[in-house]
Structure 1
Amino acid sequence: MQFNNILVDTHGNIAVLTINRPNKLNALNRETIQELHEAFKMLDSDRQVKVIILIGSGEKAFVAGADISEFAHFSVEEGGQLAAKGQELLFDFVENLSTPVIAAVNGFALGGGLELAMACHFRVASHNARMGLPEVSLGVIPGYGGTQRLPQLIGKGRAMELIMTAGMIDVDRALNYGLVNHVVSQEELMDFCKKLAGKIANNSSVAISHAIKAVNAGFKNTSNGYASEIESFGACFGTADFKEGTTAFLEKRKADFPGM
């Protein structure tokens, strides 16, 4: 599949998805959002791919925001449709993807860029990364899930301050807040993420997909997280991965999960 704005590179069971608009600091336009949707869907359907790492091209930005030139003259209706479509195609889609997605935040992650990083299952940042939601400085609010995911990750008070000041935070504060899991040098970022991905890939992909579903349910007002966990836990008992995992444990050997 050919893309204009992204690169897909798969080695073994780890895929690296690169947003490739360096002249725009990897800003998200509608075409890029559509391409990311298609790439994530393709990789999620590939049983060989166990983990996806998402990164921006170059050394300056993960994603510096949405492409403002594309929607500066939108009407109220068009603005609402922009947010709804973007959340459906990319941000909610990534959050609920059955394949784990690690955001390798290698520079500025602002606005839609931070919202995309937050939609991933967890984040690793390089020392030069800076994060923020500056939308109110443009007379708008975060529209790709930022007002919801940021409080879930760092708490309501901190999220309110970050959104209302339209400021940026460095990686030390992001780590302290729990917005990122790890901070490493830019040179180490990809190797570190691949090492984490390798640890994840050694485990049951079926069980991990159930875990993602159960954890996400706990953050939705329309779902009972505990009930979702019970349902997913029970469903694992009917999988080949469960049979292999428990058999390997009893036989004192390393499991070779079939991913079924």
Structure 2
Amino acid sequence: MDTLLLQQRPAPGVLLLILNRPDKRNALNQALVRALDEALATAAADEDVACVVLTGDQRAFSAGADIHDQHAHGADVALSGERLAAWQRIADFEKPYIAAVNGYCLGGGNELAMMTDFIIAGENAIFGQPEINLGIFPGDGGTQRLPRLIGAKNAARMILTGERVSAERAWRMGLVSEVVANDDTVTHAVRLAAGIAGKSRQAARLAKATIRDGLDLTLADGLKLEHDNLRPLFGTDAQKDNMARFAAGERSHSGGEPARHRTSASA
């Protein structure tokens, strides 16, 4: 199982997870999903990990669920309690989490990428939910997360036609946050992750939770959640230190712009 998911520490506070079934275009079989679930559980408890980057290879982030498994075992494997519980834990990962996508990002691969906080795509990335071509439809969150990200009509078109979407079009629709050169996809995602890791880790986790949990609330309840989650950050070392530096920079500029290029302390 160790070879199915490679792990690297490319920068302080950053864990890079690499899906590693290249002969299957990183198809998500039970063993790979289990390996990812276990790796994220370990990362959640590891104080040295502040942000995770998930990627595949240049050919494929992931071409989707392992169709051979589903063909052989049907709904019993696709909708097994063990598998769905693992997917939910992957979606609920509490620390910041970035997908770096090159090549095919289809079906379950796209659903996995949507579980992260945002997606960096290489120019060669191709997104899609082609399950309709197999006589089924997305079952790992595609019918729910995709409309929330790109709107119901765009999502319906992707799901009902099974058509593939280029990185540029995915960016225009709001599925990905940025498109970069193919060779820069992972390094750029790692650079962003390192920047996140250098900030208050408590603030980052609470910000992520507030965004995620607020999507299921009314605006009024979401604003209350925002205020409730913000309050504990006042009085932390990170808040006091960073605001003190900001205030000192204001004073040193005699009312001008605050000093630039500060680094935030980690909580």
Alpha carbons 1:98, 1:208 under 8 Å: kept: no
Aligned twin of 2:184: 188
Identity %: 34
Aligned twin of 1:152: 148
Aligned twin of 1:10: 9
2:149 aligns to what SS in structure 1? helix
Structure 1 residue 227 displacement after superposition: 2.5
CA distance in 2, matches of 1:76, 1:258: 45
Amino acid at match of 1:229: E
Amino acid at match of 1:158: N
Please point out which of 202, 211, 214 is paired with 1:215. Answer: 211
Q: What does 1:170-189 correspond to in 2, within 5 Å?
A: 170-189=166-185
Amino acid at match of 1:257: A
Aligned twin of 2:21: 21
Alpha carbons 1:87, 1:145 under 8 Å: kept: no
Q: 1:129 to 1:255 in 2, by over 3 A?
A: closer
CA offsets 1:230-250 (integer angstroms, 9 cap, x no match): 221112225333233333333
2:127 aligns to what SS in structure 1? strand
Alpha carbons 2:77, 2:83 under 8 Å: kept: no
Please point out which of 119, 125, 139 is paired with 1:123. Answer: 119
TM-score, normalising length: structure 1:
0.90
Structure 1 residue 258 displacement after superposition: 3.9
CA distance in 1, matches of 2:37, 2:237: 29
CA distance in 1, matches of 2:203, 2:119: 21
Amino acid at match of 2:14: I
Q: CA RMSD in A?
A: 2.1
Structure 1 residue 163 displacement after superposition: 0.2
Structure 1 residue 154 displacement after superposition: 0.3
Q: What does 1:74-89 correspond to in 2, within 5 Å?
A: 74=73, 76=75, 79-81=78-80, 84-89=81-86
Q: Unaligned stretches of 5+ in structure 1?
A: none
- In the alignment, structure 1 residue 236 sits paired with structure 2 residue 233: yes
CA offsets 1:159-208 (integer angstroms, 9 cap, x no match): 00100001101111101001111111111112211221222222111101
Amino acid at match of 1:139: G
Aligned twin of 1:137: 133
Give the greater-gyration-radius structure (CA): 2
Aligned twin of 2:62: 63
CA distance in 1, matches of 2:191, 2:77: 42
CA distance in 1, matches of 2:163, 2:198: 39
CA distance in 2, matches of 1:151, 1:97: 21
CA distance in 2, matches of 1:85, 1:233: 35
User: Mean alpha-carbon deviation: is it higher for 134-143 or for 114-123?
Assistant: 134-143
TM-score, normalising length: structure 2:
0.87
Q: Unaligned stretches of 5+ in structure 2?
A: 250-258
Structure 1 residue 13 displacement after superposition: 1.4
